[in-house]
A = this chain, B = another copy of it.
Amino acid sequence: MRGEPSGAAPLGEYAVIVNPEDNVAVVKRRTSRGLRLSFDGRVIVVEDEIPPGHRFALCAIPPGEFVRQYGQPIGTSRGIGAGEWVTHANMSNDVPVVRDLPEDLHNPPPDYFPEEQRARFRGFVRPDGRVGTRNHVLVIPTSMCASHEAQQIATLAEHLFDVRARFPNVDGVVAIPHNKGCGCQDGSTLEVLLRTLANYAAHPNVGAVLLIDLGCEKTNLARMERWMRERAMELNKPLARIGIQEAGGTRAAIDRGLREIEKMLPAANAAERREVSAGELVLGVKCGGSDGFSGLSANPAVGQAADLLVRSGGTVLMTEVPEFCGAEHILAWRARDAATGRAVYRLVDWYKEYASKFGAVLNENPSPGNVAGGLLNITIKSLGAIAKGGTTRVEGVIEYGERVPGRGLWLMQGPGYDQESTPGLVAAGATIVLFTTGRGTTIGNAIAPVVKVASNTPVYERMRNDIDLSAGTIIDGTETIEQVGQRIFDHMLRVASGEVRAKAEENGHREFQVWAEQTVSL
């Protein structure tokens, strides 16, 4: 076929090699027994009829040697011949999950691009030095009891003040209604809420803030402002406050809110974009509605873009801690030092114990359906998830919604649940989010563009109005992971600059929720 050596088909037509150090290829198109595939100037004869999602050996793997995918051990060979289907019969699940870390663990810093070669984008440079990709006026209800009023103010303000036309530098007046702030015990659940709301207020994508409370709730304005004062948080942006009980109810509060927004808009509109280094970006990476291809195409491609950003001096945030399970040792060993590595383990252990309180078990052994689809063990599954964080060293670990204190790749505590983890990344400082999906997810975020990357071509074609980019070309064999990664990186900078909007923005998606950590309603 196509004049390949010895009449073999190019391997890329049937399978994907995720990392150059792998000794297996993952099938994307069912093979036949005896199929000849050319790769690296040689021919591999596939020994079996292998379904998509499963893998075959690129060379003989002697018993006791690691089977490698994502450049990482995914199991131990019991004796696998070249071209042979890798199954539980010829591979054990044994991988070096070593909880100990060398005391002298040290991973080198990222391989930075020279300053003058780094990409640039146009962002909003804020007084604290952070750079936004958007410029929103944000209406923050300090509790659910003010959520209706907050939403009404934002919706009415956009309409009444003709914001898009009259204030072209303002991307929108948006609200973040939520379901928390009262009827609960004191402690971490309120801490998580206050931290998230405060960090949204301080976010570089926000040019002005209106805070609104009911008055008698646990997280009322007084509490929220005390929280911020105790941490010496200064917003350095137009800020107004409204109390519903104080104003005399729903209508009075909405009217007062509209007047406050009207006053703020000219100041918010004074912000202007300036060209800065790509290194000023803070990228959150997410996966949701994943399929068997997510770990082979979209996630590694986003990981490639993440690496390009880190090498440009930028910041990358990855969360979804339940999905680290089974691969946490890889992240721990990639830490800058042993203390950071131990923090990675603590992140996962905390979540396991937390979940067990509810009788939930994190990342259980893959279901029969997973195994049938090629996700033979928990390591393979989790490696596919963490691929979106790229390959650079782990600089540190932060709490959910905690502001990231440095550059490079950071891990954030938090769930995989898209609706809660995306807002957490943004609270931590992400000014843009890359979100991979195999099934097709539509969510966005109130203040940050969420750029969707499809793992396969059919879902991209079917949901083109919601999904920005396709990594399905990797499966189709028309692009490499590196090429798609570069394409994602370039597109991300255009979205960050406001040249194009994310599809979620075009569709008016403005989701917000706070992690339901330790939530017990009283």
Contact = CB atoms under 8 A, between A and B. Distances in A.
Interface of A: 144-145, 147-149, 152, 179, 182-185, 187, 214-216, 244-245, 248-252, 289, 322, 354-355, 357-360, 362, 415-420, 439-443, 459, 462-467, 507-511, 513, 515-522
Query: For A244, A249, A462, which residue has the most chain B Cβ atoms within 10 angstroms?
Result: A249
A293 to B, nearest CB: 14
A215 B440 contact: yes
Contacts of A215: 439-440
Contacts of A362: 522
Given A251-B507, A522-B362, A443 B148 contact: yes
A25 B144 CA distance: 37
Contacts of A442: 145, 148-149, 214, 244, 249-250
A415 B462 contact: no
Q: Is chain A's interface secondary structure helix, strand, loop, or mixed overall?
A: loop
A441 B214 contact: yes
A358 B417 contact: no
A390 B164 CA distance: 54
Given A184-B417, A357-B520, A516-B519, 13 more contacts: A145-B441, A148-B442, A148-B509, A183-B415, A184-B360, A185-B359, A187-B359, A248-B465, A249-B465, A357-B357, A360-B520, A416-B522, A516-B516
Nearest to A244: B442
A419 B183 CA distance: 9
Contacts of A214: 289, 439-442
Contact of A508 (B152, B182, B355, B358): B152
A248 B417 contact: no
Contacts of A420: 179, 183, 521
Nearest to A464: B249
Nearest to A440: B245
A357 B466 CA distance: 41
A417 B251 contact: no
A191 to B, nearest CB: 13
A417 B187 contact: no
Contacts of A511: 144, 147-148
A421 B204 CA distance: 37
Contacts of A148: 442-443, 508-511
Protomer copies: 2
B465 A185 contact: no
14 contacts: A145-B441, A148-B510, A179-B420, A187-B359, A214-B439, A216-B439, A245-B463, A249-B464, A249-B507, A250-B507, A252-B465, A417-B522, A516-B521, A517-B521
Contacts of A443: 145, 148
A75 to B, nearest CB: 25
A358 B513 CA distance: 21
Contact of A182 (B252, B358, B417): B417
A148 B511 CA distance: 7
A466 B245 CA distance: 10
A264 to B, nearest CB: 24
Closest 5 CB pairs of A and B: A183-B417, A415-B521, A185-B360, A216-B439, A249-B466
Nearest to A215: B439
A392 to B, nearest CB: 27
B465 A251 contact: yes
Contacts of A358: 185, 518, 520
A505 to B, nearest CB: 11
Contacts of A244: 440, 442
Query: For A215, A507, A518, A521, which residue has the most chain B Cβ atoms within 10 angstroms?
Result: A521
Contacts of A519: 516, 519
A452 B506 CA distance: 39
A179 B179 CA distance: 8
Contacts of A464: 249
A111 to B, nearest CB: 35
Contacts of A439: 214-216, 245
Nearest to A322: B522
Nearest to A356: B520
A249 B444 CA distance: 13
B250 A466 contact: yes
Contact of A463 (B249, B357, B465): B249
Nearest to A417: B183
A362 B515 CA distance: 23
Nearest to A248: B462
Nearest to A358: B520
Contacts of A522: 322, 355, 360, 362, 415-417
A463 B243 CA distance: 12
Query: For A251, A355, A362, A517, which residue has the most chain B Cβ atoms within 10 angstroms?
Result: A251
Contact of A520 (B145, B354, B465, B510): B354
Given A214-B289, A440-B215, A522-B416, A185 B249 contact: no
A520 B183 CA distance: 17
